[in-house]
A and B are shown apart, each in its own frame.
Chain A
Amino acid sequence: MIENPVIRVKNFTGYYGEKAGVKDINVDFGKNKITAIIGPSGCGKSTLLRSINRMNDNIPVYRTEGEILFEGQNINERGVDLTKFRKKVGMVFQRPTPFPMSIYDNITFGPKLHGIKRKSQLDEIVETSLRQASLFDEVKDDLKKSAWGLSGGQQQRLCIARALAVDPEVILLDEPTSALDPIATKHIENLVEELVAKYTIIIVTHNLAQAVRISDYMLFMFQGDLIEYGKTSDIVKQPKDPKTEEYLTGKIS
């Protein structure tokens, strides 16, 4: 169904201890598409997203069954170099998470981890990433200032720029606008729509209208199950599952 899948999830189940957070998921994420994962609180949408870059590794009781393939390789296999893998799959979180350092150092944090040391190269990365996150013009004179001085919306764009700076292929967004005001939200949405030309984007959102506005594909989850998956326009026009319809019409939330 999906052309050119970058990430393929096959019979994937994620357990927190005995309880399954997501159950037997099968889904492909298409290259250079925006896929929105939607569903009510606790439906497993964040668990699925966090499994795609193994963010749940830090939760001791979390274990998985099935496969998640990134460019054909199972990411949960032994011997996967997490550092190299996560370089290719970036993530931005709910609340802005600027590190306690300058704007410049926030952006170069990732590239430096991956061995880039030349000042001229770092300078270039900073400018490109900030431009891509449409933040450059606002901060170009303040690169040496603390990132904590920026507004919430700017901080979130900085976090996107920071994720872009390591040159990823996929960007995971975990409710990236839920802590922002409407104007900052609009700004991020526009940005995501621009970025998809170069990156594959998977976004978890609580905001149904947002999912409809920006996504190409939509994935509806309920109580750990994948209920429906398809083109956003198709799902919105004619949901196949009654649960999806109930969610879209606001009967469950």
Chain B
Amino acid sequence: MKRDLIISTVFRIISYFAFLVVVFIFLTTIIDGLQYFSWEFFTQSPSKGMTAGGVFPAIIGSIYMLLLSLLFAIPIGLMTGIYLSEYGGNSKLAELLLTAITSLAGVPSVVFGLFGLAMFSIAFGFRTSILSGSLTLAIMTLPVISSSVHEALNSIPRDIRESAYALGAKKTEVIFKVLIPYAKLRVLTAILIGGGRIIGETAPVLLTGAIFYATRMPDSVMDPTMTLPTHIYYITMAYGDKAQWMAKGTISVLMLFVLIIYSIAFVIRGRMQKIK
């Protein structure tokens, strides 16, 4: 009994510690930058060698990247997950696919960046552009989305599928009319968490889609763009003390984005638990 108490206390302290670290990171980074928030900061481009103005182009660029990469990743991720759970069974191909997805999740992001650079920017001729960047990010998020779709579908009770079959539904009808709606919230949560990662990715975007300064908005997906994380990187690496305030402000904006995305994900997760 006494040993149980000690062990559970140790675990509790460790998990509180992990929680505190997360809260600390979010709070300090967000609060540190809040003082630089102003109307100009959100609506203007940087000026005077990154010492004045705002980060409007980087905000827009990050949103473009996020939406476009989800546009690629969601359908492919959904289809892969559905295949794995509903069609693959124990086949060799499914096994191979599952291994590939798991390994993909462990590849360092800079490697994705180099791959994207070689594949999309150079081989496909998309150059440094929003398109190259989003495609690279889409590949990075694919494992998150497809494995969560796979797991969500797999966890649906057998009786639910069979009830649909028993009414005369065909396999595709069972999948798209019953199983997908059933797994909807879980999949949505996974997409949001994937999105939270995409928006903060630096290395892949640095290599495939980002430029350090843009005075105008991108005209099309073939243009490069500024993004929040790469903007932070450029300022801290290449600009003097007078520009550092902008990095702090930008970090604050980025972390707020991540916080909002994750909060939505957690609200959905909470609702999900209430329903079931």
A214 to chain B, nearest CB (A): 21
Count CB-based A-B contacts (< 8 Å).
Answer: 69
Inter-chain contacts of B167 with A (CB < 8 A) = 86-87, 90, 109-110, 113, 162-163, 166
- Considering only residues 159-187 of chain B, those with a C-beta below 8 Å from chain A are 159-170, 173, 177-178, 181-182, 184
A49 to chain B, nearest CB (A): 11
Inter-chain contacts of B165 with A (CB < 8 A) = 55, 58, 86
Q: Say yes or no: B163 contacts A83, CB within 8 Å.
A: no
Residue of A nearest to B274 (CB): A148
Answer whether residue B89 sits at the interface, using C-beta atoms and an 8 A cutoff. yes
Q: Say yes or no: A90 contacts B166, CB within 8 Å.
A: yes
Answer whether residue A95 sits at the interface, using C-beta atoms and an 8 A cutoff. yes
Answer whether residue A97 sits at the interface, using C-beta atoms and an 8 A cutoff. yes
Q: Say yes or no: B159 contacts A94, CB within 8 Å.
A: yes
Answer whether residue B270 sits at the interface, using C-beta atoms and an 8 A cutoff. no
Q: Say yes or no: A82 contacts B168, CB within 8 Å.
A: yes
Q: Say yes or no: B166 contacts A60, CB within 8 Å.
A: no
Inter-chain contacts of A94 with B (CB < 8 A) = 159
Query: What CA separation (Å) do A90 and B164 show in the bound complex?
Result: 10
A14 to chain B, nearest CB (A): 16
Q: Say yes or no: A148 contacts B275, CB within 8 Å.
A: yes
Inter-chain contacts of B181 with A (CB < 8 A) = 99-101
Interface bits A88-105 vs B (CB < 8 Å: 1, else 0): 001101110101110000
Answer whether residue A84 sits at the interface, using C-beta atoms and an 8 A cutoff. yes
Residue of B nearest to A84 (CB): B168
Query: What CA separation (Å) do A90 and B170 show in the bound complex?
Result: 15
B6 to chain A, nearest CB (A): 40
Answer whether residue B106 sits at the interface, using C-beta atoms and an 8 A cutoff. no
- Range of interface residues on B (Cβ < 8 Å): 20 to 34
Query: What CA separation (Å) do A93 and B181 show in the bound complex?
Result: 20
Contact A113:B169 (CB < 8 A) given known A99-B164, A99-B182: yes
Across the interface, B159 reaches (CB within 8 A) one of A53, A82, A95, A148, namely A95
Counting chain A CB atoms within 10 Å of each CB, the highest count among B159, B161, B167 belongs to: B167
Inter-chain contacts of B157 with A (CB < 8 A) = 95, 97
Inter-chain contacts of B275 with A (CB < 8 A) = 146, 148
Across the interface, A93 reaches (CB within 8 A) one of B159, B182, B184, namely B159
Query: What CA separation (Å) do A113 and B178 show in the bound complex?
Result: 12
Answer whether residue A186 sits at the interface, using C-beta atoms and an 8 A cutoff. no
Inter-chain contacts of A86 with B (CB < 8 A) = 165-168
Inter-chain contacts of A55 with B (CB < 8 A) = 162, 165-166
B70 to chain A, nearest CB (A): 23
Query: What CA separation (Å) do A90 and B168 show in the bound complex?
Result: 9
Query: What CA separation (Å) do A24 and B173 show in the bound complex?
Result: 35
Residue of B nearest to A82 (CB): B168
Query: What CA separation (Å) do A109 and B178 show in the bound complex?
Result: 10
Query: What CA separation (Å) do A113 and B160 show in the bound complex?
Result: 16
Inter-chain contacts of B169 with A (CB < 8 A) = 83, 109, 113
Q: Say yes or no: B163 contacts A93, CB within 8 Å.
A: yes
Residue of B nearest to A148 (CB): B275
Contact A163:B166 (CB < 8 A) given known A93-B159, A99-B160: yes
Answer whether residue A144 sits at the interface, using C-beta atoms and an 8 A cutoff. no
Query: What CA separation (Å) do A87 and B182 show in the bound complex?
Result: 23
Inter-chain contacts of A162 with B (CB < 8 A) = 163, 167
- Considering only residues 88-112 of chain B, those with a C-beta below 8 Å from chain A are 89
26 cross-chain CB contacts under 8 A: A53-B166, A55-B166, A58-B161, A58-B165, A82-B168, A83-B170, A84-B168, A86-B165, A86-B166, A87-B167, A90-B166, A91-B166, A93-B159, A93-B163, A95-B157, A95-B159, A97-B160, A113-B167, A113-B168, A113-B169, A114-B168, A148-B276, A159-B163, A162-B163, A163-B166, A166-B167
Known: A90-B167, A113-B167. 9 other contacts (CB 8 A): A55-B162, A87-B168, A91-B163, A95-B157, A97-B163, A99-B178, A109-B178, A114-B168, A166-B167
* B binding-site residues for A, Cβ under 8 Å: 89, 157, 159-170, 173, 177-178, 181-182, 184, 275-276
* A binding-site residues for B, Cβ under 8 Å: 53, 55, 58, 60, 82-87, 90-91, 93-95, 97, 99-101, 109-110, 113-114, 146, 148, 159, 162-163, 166
